[in-house]
Structure 1
Amino acid sequence: MRFDRIRLKNFKPYADTDLDLGDGVTVIHGLNGSGKSSLLEACFFALYGAKALDGTLEDVVTNGEEESEIELWFTHAGEEYRVERRIRLSGERATTAKCVLEGSTVPEGSVDGARDVRTFVVDLLRMDADAFVNCAYVRQGEVNKLINATPTERQDMIDDLLQLGKLEEYRERARNARLGVEDVLSDKRGGLRELAAQVEEKEETNPYERLNALQTELKEVKAAIERYETQREKAKQSRDDAVSTLDDYEKKREELADLDDDIDSLKSDIAETEEKRETLRENAREARERTDELESTVADAIAESELDTAADDAIAARVTALDERRDELTDSIQELRERAQGFENQSSNLAEKATDLESRAEQKRTRADELERKHESDTSKLADQREKLGDLDDRVEALEARFEDVPVDRGDASAHLADLRERKSAIRDELETVRTKLRSTRQRVEEAERLLGEGKCPECGQSVDDSPHVDTLDEDRTRVRELDAEREELEAEIESLGDDIERAESLVDAENELGQLREQRDSITSLVDQREETLAEKAEQAEAARDAADEHEEKAEELRDAAEQTASKAEESRDEISELQAKREQVDANEERLERIQSLRDEIADTEARLDRISERRSDLGELNDERRERLGEKQRRRRELREDVDESQIRQAKEKKSNAEEYLEQVEPELESLAERRTKLDNDIGGAKTDIRRLEELHEKRDHVAERVEALESLHEETEELEAMYGDLRAELRRRNVETLERMLNETFDLVYANDAYARIRLDGEYELTVYQKDGQALDPEQLSGGERALFNLSLRCAIYRLLAEGIEGAAPTPPLILDEPTVFLDSGHVGRLVDLVEEMRGFGVRQIIIVSHDDELVGAADDLVTVEKDPTSNRSTVRHEEIDALAAVESVADD
């Protein structure tokens, strides 16, 4: 895997940067704090997103900007890919606005979304962000990470890199599967034992024998029921015959009784009907008298109505004439009512309009009063605001005076403060570097002085006599004094900058307050101008409102006069309506007399018709009594015949047979009920026996099925045990091979970059415990090495792991570039030269791309491509550029030094 190109926009200190990266060794060189490490962090972030950041997503976006863009082009296994991420600030929170990965092997051409892109990169490189750091990315200050790790942590790191963690994952899955099978197998065995016990319990009840006995007993009960039911039917037939005979005699007796009743009823009806005929004769006499009385009343009514005759035509003609007169009067009354209603509506509308105008006049006067009060209030407020405006002018003048004796112009205080803070931050970074070098150099001096006290060389640990390394101790002591003086100078400069920053912060506060006061003054000035304009407008509006009120009152008076005139016309129309209504009432009275005559004539006709009906009714009743007398004679003859047919001895015999049959039926029913209950119980018992048999057969089948399942689970359990052991053994074997290979590569690398007579070899045991052996066989913990040796030892270990990972994969190595970020922090000049040898060694092993970030000029000699990073102190923005180098001359220069 190789980085081809990185493009940044507003990423940390980079405003707009585009950098091509090639094969070989690329050294990114520049001063501390210039932004070198940010280039590597951008590549790391492009691959893994927020997982690759030490800080938060908000730290990615350049100060003062709202959006950041990162694009990375890289090649893996011969295929080209591009990752693009865009981060957007919204308030104080940053979010991923865009994240896309493109490549020819990507499904559907691209992957969208931060989570999906990170998942794709992890699958493609076969390592997550942590594995990337542990394998190929030696981050600044973490050069001793592997040696400081515990053996277990180191084992986990290397196992994960070499994909051995997958084997442990598979072994754990096999273990979980085995435990799961054990749980299921235990449940199934318990179920099998329970089923066997249930089968044994069911077989002890002998359901088959019990079923045969119950079926035999049921057959006997059914035969007995059949015999009793046959005898019961014979008894029922004898009883029914006797009942029939008794019913026949009873019917004859009932018929005799009915005939007696009918005869008495006919006699009574005949007598009652004769009484009705007599009543009808009396009613007819009264109807004739009523007819004479009505005819006399009609004659009197005709005389009052001025009719010449009581003929129907004359009455109808008179009624028609009265109807026409009433309609004429009604139409006239309706016209007058509509006319009066119109006058009243008009009068009401005029009165309402007058009231409305009076109300509007009152509103206008109220509005005029409000405007006059508002005018007085605004005049008072205007005076207050003019006074406040004068106070603001005084405060603005006082704040502006603070900028007269300072070297900063108004408006530049914030930029001046930012410059001071940036300068202080840069000096702090430089101070931290000096402190780190000072601690490292002091440690070397202390270690050297200890060894000298023991009579040993501080470099190789041998006798101090004739050692070429003793003279370097004085150089280190001089270097300690120089670094200590540089530290004190930087600390004093930081303290001085602190005072300047406090003064600058005070100017920024004054500048901010001055801007706020100016805005407030402009706002009040605008408000004063507006109120001066509105004062005259409000006075004019008040005067106009009072004029309008006077006009409304004059118009309202005119409308009220018109309303009174219209009301008078409405009253005149109402008087005319009263006169016409009196005439119409006279017409109604004449119509009522005619209707009375007509009603009397109708009543006379009804009375005459009633006389006819009474006569017909008397005739019908006479014929009805004649028919009743005939039926009476027939029923008397039938009664004599029935009295002769009734025989009391036959009735006694029938009653005796009925009693005997009923007695037998009473005795047989309980027996049949008992047998039916016994039959039902036997049916139920047989059903239960059949259910037990069916349940027993089901238990047999279920037991056999569970037994087969237990046998299969036992076989599966053996397979999972074998699989679990196989994954464990395979991981142990692969780890053993990896430990042997890693130990060999580590010794090869360490011998090449640190060849001396002090150490014989390095041992890495199966638990990834590291031990350094001296020539005399003494074992040393890596922590006992000097600072430079320990750092170089760790770099050798990282490179060996990188080689192992690259060579441990069949075919093309999937490893990313080897990245070293400030690897010389803990190295003196002699060890830096050995680091150059280590880089050359890795190139010799075929590592295609090595990227080194360093401020150390000595590493430039190992570069195939030199990238210089510079930061503009004014804008605080970093830029990169490729430098043309003569690699051979650089190497020779380093060798001469």
Structure 2
Amino acid sequence: MRFDRIRLKNFKPYADTDLELGDGVTVIHGLNGSGKSSLLEACFFALYGATALDGTLEDVVTNGEEESEIELWFTHAGEEYRVERRIRLSGDRATTAKCVLEGSAVPDGSVDGARDVRRFVVDLLRMDADAFVNCAYVRQGEVNKLINATPTERQDMIDDLLQLGKLEQYRERARNARLGVEDVLGDKRGGLRELDSQVEEKQAANPYERLNALRTELNEVTSKIENYEAQREKAEESRKAAVETLENYEEKQEELAELAEDVESLKADIETTENERETLREKARETHERVDELEATVEDAVAESDVETVDDSATSPTRQADGKAVDDAISARLEELADRREELSESIQELSVKSEGFENQSSNLADKAADLESRAEQKRTRADELENDRENGESELDDRREKLTELDDQIEELEATFDAAPVDRGEASAHLADLRERRSELRDELETVRTNLRSTRQRVEDAERLLEEGKCPECGQPVDESPHVDTVDEDRKRVEELDAEREELEAEIAALDDDIDRAESLVETGNKLSQLRERRDSVTTLVEQREETLAEKADQAKAAREDAAEHAEEAEQLRDAVEQTATRAEETRERIAELRAEREQVDTSRGRLERVQSLREEITDAEERLDRISEKRSDLADRNDERREWLAEKRSRQQALREEVDESQIQQAEEKKSNAEAYLEKVDPALESLREQRTKLDNDIGGAKSDIERLESLKEKRDHVAERVDALESLHEETEELEAMYGDLRAELRQRNVETLERMLNETFDLVYANDAYARIRLDGDYELTVYQKDGQALDPEQLSGGERALFNLSLRCAIYRLLAEGIEGAAPTPPLILDEPTVFLDSGHVGRLVDLVEEMRGFGVRQIIIVSHDDELVGAADDLVTVEKDPTSNRSTVRHEEVAGLSAVESVADD
């Protein structure tokens, strides 16, 4: 994993900053308080959100601002990603207004929301914020965090980094599962014992035998009920027969009363109907008089109309036939007038449409003429503009041609640079890459020589000291007759050879540096030459396009003037057509007025005829009303005749009913009814008691059946629980085995990690403490650290000096990083190695060893190392130097990239 770029806006001291980060060692340099650590905190915050901050979310936004933006570009496993966060301050509270992560490898292209982004980053990098810090982010003031931690804390940190913490989580889950199974198993076993007890209790009650006894008793009670119900049915039939006799008597009495009322009612209805017939006779007389009046009015109305009648005998005895002839004449005339009115309306409509068409045509022609005149003016204006543009374009074209001449001169000058160059222009980049690769190889070789030189010099110094004391350099025994003394001379000779080889390599690297500078200049010249050629091609294209454009504008101006003349001529023709169309519209409107006057005369004639027609319809209605009155009087006379017949029949029925009533039969019926009711009063309680007894027996039988069903259900449940207990006992054994397996696996993997970490830590330790009195470091299975001096004495790391503890802890952190990078069973993804003010506890002598440690991590293939420091001594270790400065007036920080002399200068100082 590698940071590629960080962009900040209103983040802590940064108003607007955009910083690119590359491979190798990047040193972020500046005074204390300038904002160096804030850059790394921004990267960390972009990945993990608020959990990465030392303070609160409100502290992110620059003082005096309301919004902060953070963007981070990073690469992981060959895929590129971008995280963007925007924090908005509202009052005293800050909220995340936007949080999105984008990348080609992201499902659906992006992840939205702070929580989802943090979860995605944790899954992607396989480490949360704490693991990130413990692995590769050595924060300011926390350089001794691991060394000061307890073995248990150190064990948890390293186990989490190496994903062993998950095995403990799995073991805990297996343990919890085992305990959960034990709880469930205990419950199920208790449930099984309870079910066994319930089954025994139910079987002791013998529900099957009790069910048979209840069924026998139920059959006896049912037989008694059926006998009582048969006797009760006979008594009910006797009571019904007596009741029917008594009811018939009552019905005859009621009928007699009703007949008396009907006789009186019929008498009254006959009298009322006779009065109504007299009233209708008077209405008929009045209607005859109204008919005579209407006929006189019709004669006057016909005389006023233009309809032709047969003669003047409309009032004669044959007026019905004559009236029909008048009606037919009126209807025929009305049809003629309606047809004429329709013809006039259609003509008026047609002429109106035609008149409106003439008016619209005249208006449209006028609009078109105005439009053509406007277009002619626009064409003339456009022609003037095109001619002005062409004149201005000619001047600009001359300037571009002069620019082409200047570009040709510059290109010729730059091409001359390659005449004396060792390579052609197209081979400059490859030549530079070869030189850099060769320098890198020589630097690696030089580092190996320097390492061997230091270790050989140390052996010589130790040997000379022991020789002075009279002891063997190798075994420490007296040197008399010792064969090992001769090896000291070989080591001295080896020192001279290595020193000469070092000087030769340094000279060759210096020569390569000069060649690389010249090659970089050639690459830069080649790039500039390519840019000039591209620019010349662009200008040439623009000149050609401008020449074509000016020619086109001249043609367009000529065409515009021709179009303007055509539009003006066409507009004049349209003006003449407008006058002709307006004259035709006026003639059409005059004809419409004449037709409307004629239609009003037709409407007047139709009104008169319709009045005659209405009066004749009223006469017809009056005559029909006379017929209805006559019919109604005849109906009323017939109805009274029928009523007189009904009156005679009802009087005859009264006499017959009085003769049918027998008092002795009524007395016998009352006695039978009384006896039946007395028996029913006795039998009903007995039946009710027996039915209650039968219901109770049915309920008891249902209870017995339920007991049997519950017994069977308990047996089935008991069998199911017994099977569940067997399954849980088997599962309990499996969880015990799984818990033990996770514990054993974690212990085994931890031991392998301890061995590998101890080896890597000692390799780093040998480099950093090569000239000191420390021999090795021991890391036991519980992550307990012990430092051994060369005399064998064991020391706790806390017994080291402040600078030594800082270097010791940095060595431990680098060893953990190597373990993660190389992996126990293959490579694992790791973030950049980040050291935030690692020199706080180091003196000047230990800073040089820190440089050696950084170079060692580069040698192990760490792709990106970021060091934040105010120490000038670390600047020389940088491949890329970023300087951070704070403006004392605005209190805002800025960053800039600077050229660096390279690592060799610092190494030379360290060697001296």
CA displacement at 1:827 relative to structure 2: 1.2
1:185: how far off?
A: 2.9
Residue correspondence of structure 1 range 298-697 to structure 2 within 5 A = 672-697=687-712
Post-superposition offset of 1:46? 2.3
Q: CA deviation at 1:228?
A: 4.6
2:911 pairs with 1:895: yes
Answer whether contact 1:10 1:69 (CA < 8 A) is retained: yes
1:820 corresponds to: 835
Query: Does the C-alpha gap of structure 1 residues 845 and 216 become closer, same or farther in structure 2, counting only changes over 3 Å?
Result: same
> TM-score of the superposition, structure 1-length normalised?
0.52
**Which residue of 1 is the match for residue 190 of structure 2?**
190
> Could you say if the C-alpha distance between residues 663 and 742 of structure 1 is closer, same or farther in structure 2, counting changes exceeding 3 Å?
same
- Letter matched to residue 73 of structure 1: W
Q: Secondary structure at the match of 2:816?
A: helix
Q: Measured at CA, do residues 885 and 206 of structure 1 come closer, stay the same or move farther in structure 2, by a change above 3 Å?
A: same
Is residue 147–residue 809 contact of structure 2 (8 Å, CA) maintained in 1? yes
Cα displacement string for residues 711-764 of structure 1 (whole angstroms, at most 9, x for unaligned residues) = 333333333332222222222222222222222222221122112463332222
1:201 and 1:859 map into 2 onto residues whose CA distance is: 89
- Cα displacement string for residues 761-805 of structure 1 (whole angstroms, at most 9, x for unaligned residues): 222222222222233433221111111111111111111111112
- Structure 1 residues 748, 224: CA separation in 2 closer, same or farther (over 3 Å shift)? same
Could you tell me how far apart the structure 2 residues matched to 1:52 and 1:234 are? 101
Q: Report what 1:864 is aligned to.
A: 879
Deviation at 1:137, TM superposition (A): 1.0
| Distance in 1, Cα, partners of 2:813 & 2:28 | 20
- Are 1:44 and 2:44 matched, yes or no? yes
Q: Does the alignment pair 1:59 with 2:75?
A: no
Between 829-838 and 655-664, the greater mean CA deviation after superposition:
655-664
RMSD between superposed Cα atoms in Å: 4.5
Tell me the equivalent position of 2:34. Answer: 34
Select 2:797's aligned residue among 775, 778, 782.
Answer: 782
Superposed CA deviations along residues 594-642 of structure 1, whole A, max 9, x for unmatched, are: xxxxxxxxxxxxxxxxxxxxxxxxxxxxx9xxx9xx9999899x99x99
Q: Secondary structure in 2 aligned to 1:718?
A: helix
> Which amino acid is 1:882 matched to?
E
Letter in 1 for 2:693: R
Local SS of the residue matching 2:27? strand
Q: What are the superposed Cα offsets for residues 46-74 of structure 1, whole Å, 9 maximum, x if unpaired?
A: 22232222233343344454444332221
Match of 2:848 in 1: 833
Residue 820 of structure 2 contacts residue 827 of structure 2 at CA under 8 Å; is this kept in 1?
no
Question: Pick from 751, 754, 758: which aligns with 1:739?
Answer: 754
One-letter amino acid of the counterpart of residue 709, structure 1: R
* Matched residue, 1:14: 14
Give the direction of change, closer, same or farther, for the CA distance of 1:777–1:676 in structure 2 (3 Å limit). Answer: same
Residue of structure 2 in register with 1:380 after alignment: none
TM-superposed CA distance for 1:17, in Å, is 3.3
Q: Secondary structure at the match of 1:826?
A: coil
Question: Does structure 1 conserve the Cα–Cα contact (< 8 Å) formed by 2:24 and 2:879?
Answer: yes
SS at match of 2:179: helix
1:710 and 1:167 map into 2 onto residues whose CA distance is 29
Distance 1:245 1:843 in 2: 125
1:691 maps to amino acid = S
The Cα offsets for residues 182-205 of structure 1, whole Å up to 9 and x where unpaired, read as: 333333333333333222222222
8 Å Cα contact 1:46-1:85 kept in structure 2: yes
Structure 1 pair 233–794 and aligned structure 2 pair: CA distance change class (3 A): closer
Is 1:730 equivalent to 2:769 in the alignment?
Answer: no
Deviates more, 1:50-59 or 1:208-217: 50-59
Give the distance between the partners of 2:181 and 2:87, measured in 1 at CA.
Answer: 49
Give secondary structure in 2 for the equivalent of 1:708.
Answer: helix
Equivalent-residue separation in structure 2 for 1:188 and 1:676 (angstroms): 47
Q: Is the Cα–Cα contact under 8 Å of residues 25 and 850 in structure 1 kept in the other structure? A: yes
**Matches of 1:37 and 1:238, distance apart in 2:** 116
Q: Within 5 Å, give how 1:95-114 maps onto structure 2.
A: 95-114=95-114
Structure-2 residue corresponding to 1:845: 860
The 1:237–1:801 alpha-carbon spacing in structure 2 relative to 1, beyond 3 Å, is: closer
1:879 aligns with 2:895: yes
Could you tell me which of 780, 795, 799 is aligned with 1:765? 780
In structure 2, what is the equivalent of residue 117 of structure 1?
A: 117
- Map 1:36-185 to 2 at 5 A: 36-185=36-185
TM-score calculated relative to the size of structure 2: 0.52
Structure 2 gaps of 5+ residues are: 261-464, 470-643
Aligned to 2:292: none
How much has 1:42 moved relative to structure 2? Answer: 2.4
Secondary structure, counterpart of 2:170 in structure 1: helix
Distance 1:800 1:662 in 2: 114
Indicate how the Cα distance of structure 1 residues 145 and 231 shifts in structure 2: closer, same or farther if over 3 A, else same. closer
Q: Write the distance in 1 (CA, Å) between the matches of 2:804 and 2:701.
A: 96
Q: Counterpart in 2 of 1:207?
A: 207
Which of 729, 744, 767 matches 1:714? 729
1:891: how far off? 1.8
What is the Cα deviation at residue 99 of structure 1? 2.8
**How far, CA to CA, are the matches of 1:131 and 1:105 in structure 2?**
23
Write the distance in 2 (CA, Å) between the matches of 1:172 and 1:45: 32
Contact 2:6–2:71 at 8 Å: present in 1 too?
yes
| Contact persistence 1:869–1:881 (CA under 8 A) | no
Alignment partners' CA distance in 2, 1:23 and 1:688: 87
Structure 1 counterpart of 2:187, one-letter code:
D
Asked if structure 1 preserves the Cα contact closer than 8 Å seen for 2:243 and 2:673, the reply is no
Secondary structure of 1:685's counterpart equals helix
Give, in whole Å, the separation in 2 of the partners of 1:20 and 1:635.
130
Relative to structure 1, the CA distance from residue 240 to residue 53 in structure 2 (aligned partners, 3 Å threshold; closer, same or farther) is closer
Q: Kindly state the Cα deviation for residue 5 of structure 1 after the two structures are TM-superposed.
A: 2.2
Which amino acid letter does the alignment assign opposite residue 763 of structure 1?
A: R
| Deviation, structure 1 residue 240 | 8.3
Q: Note the alpha carbon deviations across 1:292-347, whole angstroms, 9 max, x for none.
A: xxxxxxxxxxxxxxxxxxxxxxxxxxxxxxxxxxxxxxxxxxxxxxxxxxxxxxxx
Percent identity between the two aligned chains = 83
Q: Cα–Cα, structure 1 residues 106 and 810, in superposed 2: closer, same or farther, change >3 Å?
A: farther
Amino acid at match of 1:884: V
Q: Which residue is equivalent to 1:705?
A: 720
Q: Is the 8 A contact 1:168 1:727 kept in 2?
A: yes
Tell whether the 8 Å contact from 1:215 to 1:686 is kept in structure 2 after alignment. yes
Q: Distance in 1 between matches of 2:17 and 2:675?
A: 128
Number of residue equivalences: 534
Amino acid aligned to 2:165: G
Q: Find the residue that maps to 1:747 and give its secondary structure.
A: helix
3-state secondary structure, aligned to 1:6 = strand
Task: Kindly indicate whether the alpha-carbon contact (under 8 Å) linking 1:868 and 1:883 is maintained by their aligned counterparts in 2.
Answer: no
